[in-house]
Amino acid sequence: MNPSWICVLFLGLVNAPPTEDLVRTKLENWSQWRGPLASGFAPKADPPIHWAPGKNIKWRASIPGKGSASPIVWDDQVFVLTAVATDRKVDPAALPKVDPKFQKRTEAPANYYQFIVMAFDRATGKLRWQQVANEAVPHEGHHPSHSYAAGSPTTDGRYLYVSFGSFGNYCYTLDGKLVWKRDLGRLNTRLGWGEAVTPVIHGDALLLNWDQEDSSALYCLDASTGEIRWRAARDEQSTWSTPAVIPYQGKYQVVLNGKKRIRSYDLSTGKELWQCGGMTVNPIPSPVDGGNGLVYCMSGYQGSMALALPLDLTGDVTDQGKNLWKHGGGTPYVPSPLLVNDKLYFTKGNEVQLTVLDVKTGKPVIDRERLPTVKSFYASPVSAAGRMYLVDRDGTTLVLKQGDKVDVLATNRLEEPIDASPALVGKQLFLRSERSLFCIEE
């Protein structure tokens, strides 16, 4: 494993000393959005290749309401977020006020929603505990394909960190006791399409991307108390990207994607270190640590761009040609890229065209090759045991052998739509559909 990744694992475990057991624990779980290395790759997992209703489904648990937050796994629990519309109506006079300066193409509901944290037993699928984090009336609607529970939870192995964006940020013990909550105010998203704030925990720092149509910011909270350590104002509008914490020369950079600029911040102070333009509208894919002094960033709505940027940059390098390489075709809109063994895997827009880049050169090994039997993607690709798993929005998972050609190992169909990304742990694969959580195991 790359030494920089090992360093990230150490400080990601509640400032624990660097022992082999701690690293192994992190690698054997799926503690955060995009897995143990925040790259989509699970180096210790070996999940099934084949499944279907009635085949290799260890258990299926029902999830009320609607959400597209991806599940995470720590030891014997699986954590999922959801938002449930209640029958409780708000007094019209008490409806959240609409700010006329924000253009909206969605309509806010007139009923209360419950914002719910759920923990399931990994062995049986039984509900261990459930907490209603908040009950509130949303101030805006969301895109038809979106939800009020789209940001994924994260854990450091001691606490569970959850963000429902405008509806609060929360810290729980792993047995469901509330430790703290923090309200950072409303988010007003582009056209009212909705929110997706995924927390990132690194040691005792908790990071939250608070990009919106006005007063965007990157927040760093004290993970033990929820108090604000620093707030970095951002000249950005709505993004839905998750920050990446990357070690470089004894310090840690927080790299965050953006429409106007990709920016890097000092983790300890929030000071901006460098910035680089070149992304497209609505940046969603998360930056990926190359483990080699580089970060890979991409976006793919109303354009296409992927950049490999060195971490020793300073100032605004947009027009200085400081990137190692750039690639201008076939990049993703909603899904984030997958990094495995010096290869970047991603799909075009939300479509089913696969590109694989050599990270050393930026040259395509596979260039926008159409994948069979699948239709469109919101879920991000994941990988384990030399295989890649791509889940389409109809609930079909294509299993590919990693390599320099499209080699289909299996096509697995479930009967429920899926927008959340999979989690791979041990011999198991976890899929969160529109109304269920599946544990898949031979």
Note the pLDDT of residue 25. 86
Helix 20-27 and helix 3-11, axial crossing angle in degrees, nearest 10 = 90
> With contact defined as beta carbons under 8 Å apart, do 144 and 189 qualify?
no
Per-residue model confidence as pLDDT tens digits over 122-160: 999 999 999 999 999 999 999 999 999 999 999 999 999
Instruction: Starting at the earlier edge strand, list the strands of the sheet with 407-413.
Output: 382-384, 387-391, 396-401, 407-413
Instruction: Say which CATH number the domain at 303 has.
Output: 2.130.10.10
| Total number of domains in the chain | 1
Give Cα separations from 215 to 210, 231, 236 (angstroms).
9, 11, 8
| Spacing of C-alpha 110 from chain mean position | 29
Tokens at 238, concatenated: 């709505």
Per-residue model confidence as pLDDT tens digits over 29-59: 999 999 999 999 999 999 999 999 999 999 9
Confidence of residue 14 (pLDDT cuts 50, 70, 90): very low
Note the pLDDT of residue 96. 87
Note the pLDDT of residue 99. 86
Confidence of residue 89 (pLDDT cuts 50, 70, 90): very high
Residue 114 is inside which H or E element, if any? strand 111-121
pTM score, two decimals?
0.95
Amino acid at position 314, single letter: T
Interatomic CA distance for residues 134 and 117, integer angstroms: 10
The angle subtended at Cα 146 by Cα 377 and Cα 426, nearest 5°, is 55
Residue 386 pLDDT greater than 70, yes or no? yes
> With contact defined as beta carbons under 8 Å apart, do 381 and 335 qualify?
yes
Residue 3 pLDDT greater than 50, yes or no? no
Note the pLDDT of residue 95. 85
Range of the domain at 148: 3-440
